[in-house]
């Protein structure tokens, strides 16, 4: 017997909403959104009508549906399908690309490892809310991925939107600020004021200089602090609260992804060697 149909979603924030769902047969009647829909099929086959054609997304493939384009949805195989979808305000995509018109991607379904990676990361803590800096990172990388696939041939934005020296000083200030303020949630506007760059230009310059996004850098600083606290004997739940994680399970997911072992195992190993 197949699992029952299910939908889980969070509330839209800063132009982004996440949805995870599974269906065994018919899913949606013909409808349309005012947003982009960028989704990843996790298992099965998701079939749908879109722009006058019937198409299907198989496990591992990425779907790009444009604003105000009618589409439906149903299972393409007997076992049904499961997927994750990001709904993104086209205005946010435009802003991330430097206030140019939002790109049009002609292929509704494709093998796109770059966008698939963004979707996996956007749902890593689902249904926990994404922090503002995480939303910036997701929207920025989605915009770059859509621009790379666009029929206009317009390249993703480069890091040459401000002088290199000015940008390096700006992102250096941001990095120091993120390290000092790692445990708390930081608003995008704070970093814009500090750097003098808009949030998407800042993210591009930061990644060019340090190889990661501001949010991932901040999470890394939190994890380093948590690791030290745990090695010193602090309880995992207390370490999670002290370093800005929602709860112990939230800390565990990030800790394992960063260090390759759970915080509990780290605690046992570090104390055994003391």
**Each residue's pLDDT tens digit, 102-151:** 899 999 999 999 999 999 999 998 988 999 999 999 999 999 999 999 87
Are 78 and 145 members of one domain? yes
Are 92 and 221 members of one domain? no
Are 90 and 36 members of one domain? yes
135 assigned to some structural domain = yes
Are 88 and 183 members of one domain? no
Are 243 and 203 members of one domain? no
Query: Residue 152 — very low, low, confident or very high, per pLDDT cuts 50/70/90?
Result: low
Are 85 and 183 members of one domain? no
Counting the structural domains of the chain, the total is 3
96 assigned to some structural domain = yes
158 assigned to some structural domain = no
pLDDT-wise least confident of 13-17, 111-115, 133-137, 152-156: 152-156
Write out pLDDT tens, residues 75-90.
999 999 999 999 999 9
Are 23 and 76 members of one domain? yes
CATH of the domain at 255: 1.10.10.60
145 assigned to some structural domain = yes
Residue 211: what pLDDT? Answer: 83
Are 33 and 102 members of one domain? yes
Last residue of a domain, one of 177, 194, 211: 211
Query: Residue 100 — very low, low, confident or very high, per pLDDT cuts 50/70/90?
Result: confident
> What range does the domain containing 243 cover?
217-272
Contacting residues for 11 by C-beta, under 8 A, at least 6 apart: 17
pTM exceeds 0.95 = no
Residue 67: what pLDDT? Answer: 92
159 assigned to some structural domain = no
Taking residue 52's Cβ as centre, other Cβ atoms within 10 Å add up to 6
154 assigned to some structural domain = no
On average, the pLDDT of the chain sits at: 90
Are 50 and 128 members of one domain? yes
1 assigned to some structural domain = no
Are 180 and 238 members of one domain? no
Residue 159: what pLDDT? Answer: 52
pLDDT-wise least confident of 82-86, 87-91, 96-100, 218-222: 96-100
CATH of the domain at 62: 2.60.120.280
Are 26 and 41 members of one domain? yes
Are 168 and 145 members of one domain? no
């Amino acid at each position: 017997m197949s699992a029952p149909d299910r939908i889980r979603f969070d509330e839209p924030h800063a132009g982004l909403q996440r949805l995870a769902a599974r269906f065994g047969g018919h899913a949606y009647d013909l409808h349309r959104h005012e947003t982009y829909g960028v989704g990843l099929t996790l298992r099965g086959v998701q079939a749908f009508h879109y722009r006058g054609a019937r198409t299907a997304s198989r496990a591992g493939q990425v779907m790009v549906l444009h604003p105000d384009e009618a589409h439906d949805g149903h299972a393409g195989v007997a076992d049904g399908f499961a997927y994750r979808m990001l709904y993104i305000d086209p205005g946010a995509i435009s802003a991330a690309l430097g206030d140019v018109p939002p790109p049009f991607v002609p292929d509704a379904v494709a093998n796109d490892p770059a966008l698939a990676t963004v979707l996996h990361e956007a749902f890593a803590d689902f249904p926990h809310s994404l922090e503002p800096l995480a939303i910036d990172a997701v929207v920025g990388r989605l915009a770059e991925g859509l621009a790379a696939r666009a029929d206009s041939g317009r390249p993703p934005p480069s890091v040459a939107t401000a002088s290199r020296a000015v940008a390096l000083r700006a992102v250096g200030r941001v990095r120091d600020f993120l390290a000092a303020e790692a445990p708390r949630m930081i608003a995008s506007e704070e970093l814009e004021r500090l750097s003098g760059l808009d949030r998407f230009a800042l993210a591009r310059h930061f990644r060019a200089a340090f190889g990661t996004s501001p949010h991932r850098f901040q999470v890394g600083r939190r994890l380093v602090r948590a690791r030290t606290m745990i090695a010193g004997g602090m309880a995992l739940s207390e370490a999670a609260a002290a370093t800005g994680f929602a709860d112990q399970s939230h800390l565990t997911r990030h800790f394992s992804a960063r260090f390759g072992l759970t915080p509990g195992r780290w605690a046992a190993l570090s104390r055994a060697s003391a």
